[in-house]
Every structure is written in C-alpha cells, then in structure tokens.
C-alpha cells in the first residue's frame, strides 16, 4: 500500500471566488427557509387535523393548487398512517 502524501493545493486554488461563495450562501439560506416553511405547514396540518377536502379548500383560498396525491400520501405517512385512507373517507359495510 502506498503511503498518503499530503500536498497542499496551490495558493490560487485556495482562494474561493467571492461571487461563488455568495451564491452558495444564498442557495443554502433558501433551502433552510424552505425547510422551515415546510415544517411549519406540516405542523399546522397535523395540529388542525385537516382532512384532504379541508386542506384543498385552504389551498384554493390561498391561491395555490390543491395538494397532489403524492403530497397527501406524504402527509398521511408523516401522521403514521401511510396505508390508511384520509380521515374524511368512510367505508360503509354492506
């Protein structure tokens, strides 16, 4: 096995482009803020115990599209009910 020999990068490679650093910081800040919003929204959905119909009405009133089937499945999975129908779905026997 060959021993690892540490080579320091040349000085010009150590200096990051300030514009690149600004863009990376901005992108990370956007990602963090998006995650915060998502967690707040999930918290509201869970604390208000919204069903799919109520959530869709809320979305429309806010001028955003209703949740997709995939998003609703994610909400149910976060509630710990991935295989169960939404709470407003009632199945009557016979």
The residue ranking higher by pLDDT, 90 or 21, is 21
Give pLDDT, residue 94.
43
Q: Please write the tens of the pLDDT for every residue from 8-22.
A: 766 666 666 778 888
- What's the confidence (pLDDT) of residue 81? 61
Higher pLDDT, 80 or 30: 30
pLDDT at 46: 75
Predicted pLDDT of residue 50: 81
Q: In the prediction, which pLDDT does 68 show?
A: 87
Rounded CA-CA distance 68/74 in Å is 10
Alpha helices in 8-90 (DSSP H): 11-14, 18-48, 52-61, 69-78
For 23-71, the pLDDT digits (tens) are: 899 999 999 998 888 788 777 777 887 888 988 888 888 888 888 888 8
Give the integer Cα–Cα distance in Å for 94 and 92.
Answer: 6
Which of these, 32, 68, 41, 36, lies nearest to 52 by C-alpha position?
68
Q: Which pLDDT score is estimated for 51?
A: 86
């Amino acid at each position: 096995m060959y021993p690892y020999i540490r080579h320091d990068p040349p000085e010009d490679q150590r200096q990051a482009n300030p514009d690149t650093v600004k863009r990376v910081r901005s992108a990370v800040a956007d990602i963090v803020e998006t995650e915060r919003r998502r967690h707040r929204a999930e918290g509201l959905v869970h604390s208000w115990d919204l069903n799919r119909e109520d959530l869709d009405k809320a979305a429309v009133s806010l001028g955003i599209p209703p949740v997709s089937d995939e998003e609703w499945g994610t909400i149910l999975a976060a509630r710990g009910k991935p295989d169960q129908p939404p709470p407003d779905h009632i199945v009557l026997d016979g």
